[in-house]
Chain A
């Protein structure tokens, strides 16, 4: 699976949009971009995934560049409960294929 690069940490203001970048310059054509988050002392929570088109669900939006070498997770209105470590993972979507977690971005939402 391709390696991803994320900022170690970032702060954002409550109520504002949080934009979390991820670089995956060596991504293969059959690898999806997945985002998870881990709130302190909890198991990771699935957020969203995509291949090449932008995706949106009730939690977030995922914007993938046309060359697929980078992506941005957007939390449209950050709340204090969004404080967590966010992991960007690229993975071939196949049965039994593992998730390889990097260091993630530690996001602190401030009042």
Chain B
């Protein structure tokens, strides 16, 4: 498994601003994933971040709104840009462990974002 931390754990932001969420893992991993969980809903994948390449975004999510960095094998950031109240969600990162990242995903504790 892996120990994953996220910063900040929660934040309250004003609309129109941006927030960068950090994800740190205690071991080197190839694949990192960013998910969103809107209030009362299940998790939805935003993008997959592979170190050394551009992130791959799911349908409905665009790089201008959710830019992702993956500078090394233990760290990634997700920025929520030009926020609106609809962006109020829990944002979670996860990492793939085993079988070149395809075995099992482990999740961080999440970042709870409220946009006013």
Contact = CB atoms under 8 A, between A and B. Distances in A.
Nearest to B45: A98
A contact residues, range: 20 to 34
Interface of B is mostly: strand
Contacts, number: 60
A32 B31 CA distance: 19
A7 B101 CA distance: 30
B48 interface: yes
B contact residues, range: 20 to 34
Interface stretch (B14-22, B66-74, B79-87, B103-111): B103-111
Contacts of B48: 96, 98
Contacts of B103: 93
B106 A46 contact: yes
A103 interface: yes
Contacts of A95: 30-31, 96, 99-102
Contacts of B112: 41
Interface of B: 1, 4, 30-31, 33, 42-45, 48, 50, 56, 58, 92, 94, 96, 99-110, 112
